[in-house]
Amino acid sequence: MSYEQLEQQLAELHLAAIYDQYVPLAQKAAQSNWSYETYLAYLIDQEAERRTRNRRTRRIKDAKFPLIKELADFDYAAIPQLNKQRVMSLAEGAYLEQAEPVILMGNPGLGKTHIAIGLALIACRQGHRVRFYTVTQLANDLAQAQQEHRLPKFLEKLGRHKLLVLDEFGYVPFSATGAHLLFQCCSALTERVSLIITTNLPFSEWIQVLGDERLTSGLLDRLTFRSHIVEFVGESYRFRQQMPVDGEGR
């Protein structure tokens, strides 16, 4: 068999790592007296590793994060009232397997979006399908899908994710249709897809953005069942960063 044919087949079969490695690894195999099986095992291992790496990169790209924020870069000392243990245990990812909602609640600038993205990045690196939306963006996409008579398909597509991040619930009130669609979407996903929701509003004020009492209690019922609620209390991180160092503590 010619190497030309081998390389063509490797390319057709998308075995890129084997394509790159079969010659150098064959030299190494000869030097180190590897068995044929060992050589094959090394090649396959290279391929498997590359695929895992590619999948992680693809998951992060497909999630459409507005920014990359790592959990490791979060300064817990800046927000001592945040339950760090809680965040660390969420990072282990058990909530994903149970499709449990996570609600990050508190005033602007306290790091809710940062933590949401940090947790979602971890999920991507575990190989899970993740998608980031602002709540407004999701409501718009839902409305458009409905207009174009492809809402069921859109919901089914959302349902194929392991985790959806819904950022900034509460900043913009919904139209009646928007609220209804959001409710429908959350109903379709509960107990199947994990949601991380960030919000500046306590539950008692959700009715103000949803506009309908029954719908609000229905949504809260779904979202708070087996949920992890993390409260963010403190002073805006951005604001603190702007303060002169010698102004601290006065």
* Interface with ligand ADP (CB under 6 A), residue from 45, 70, 75, 205: 75
Kind and range of the H or E run holding 122: helix 112-125
* 3-state secondary structure (DSSP) of residue 229: strand
Entry field: residues in the chain: 250
113 binds Mg ion (CB under 5 A): yes
Which has the closest alpha carbon to 111: 134, 65, 77, 63?
Answer: 77
Residue of 93, 108, 211, 218 that binds ligand ADP (CB under 6 A): 108
Angle at 226 between CA 222 and CA 229, to 5 degrees: 95
- Choose the stretch contacting ligand ADP; rule: CB under 6 A; options: 18-26, 74-82, 89-97, 148-156: 74-82
Give the residue carrying structure tokens 């391929």: 47
Q: Which of residues 126-165 bind ligand ADP (CB under 6 A)?
A: none
Task: Tell me 234's DSSP state.
Answer: S
Q: Residue 108 or residue 218: which is nearer to Mg ion going by CB? A: 108
The dihedral over CA atoms of 190, 191, 193, 195, expressed in degrees to the nearest 10, equals 60
Query: Closest separation between CB of residue 118 and ligand ADP, Å?
Result: 9
> Which is nearer to ligand ADP, 76 or 225 (by Cβ)?
76
Considering only 65, 74, 154, 206, the residue that binds ligand ADP (CB under 6 A) is 74
Interacting residue ranges for Mg ion, rule: CB under 5 A: 113
Interacting residue ranges for ligand ADP, rule: CB under 6 A: 69, 74-75, 78-79, 108-114, 198, 237-238
